[in-house]
Structure 1
Amino acid sequence: MCRHSPPCPSDSATDRQAARVSVARHEQGWALLCNDVLLFEDTGQLLPDGQVVAPCRSDAAGRVA
């Protein structure tokens, strides 16, 4: 349960990666967010229910692939 004001987005929200970082292990390439989402440096995500969200990749021109 988030105690921030305003509250962090839930793990099911489209902007879930905007939640505050609870624990970060930059040397390992991940951060645990307040909403229990595991965010990886390649922008991939692991949700609390085990669902994997693929990394958001962009091409050399900056377009999202």
Structure 2
Amino acid sequence: MCQHETDCPPAGSADRQAAVVVASYPGQGWALLCNGVLVFEDTGMVLPDGRCLAPTGRG
């Protein structure tokens, strides 16, 4: 799915959030990564296969 010079991590990998943001809607609180992951700023993420992941701790 990724067409960047250095491939972004796939949606199934532990570092999936290191992928490049292709669409960002900060007013709505979400971003789409090039690996198909939807990241929500306060409620975790949704993977391309529909699985939802809880937010991880910050700090």
SS in 2 for 1:5: coil
Greater than 4 Å deviation, 4+ residue runs: none
Aligned counterparts, 1:4-19, within 5 A: 4-19=4-19
1: CA distance between counterparts of 2:15 and 2:26?
Answer: 21
- CA RMSD, aligned part only? 1.3
Aligned to 2:51: 51
Unaligned residue ranges in structure 1 (runs of 5+): none
How far apart, in 2, do the equivalents of 1:43 and 1:18 lie? Answer: 17
Aligned residues: 59
Q: How many percent identity over aligned positions? A: 56
Alignment-derived partner of residue 23 in structure 1? 23
Residue 29 of structure 1 and its aligned partner are, at CA, apart by 0.1
1:23-61 deviations in whole A, cap 9, x for unaligned?
A: 000000000000000001126010000000001135xxx
TM-score normalised per structure 2: 0.91
For the residues of structure 2 that align with 1:57 and 1:47, how far apart are their CA atoms? 18
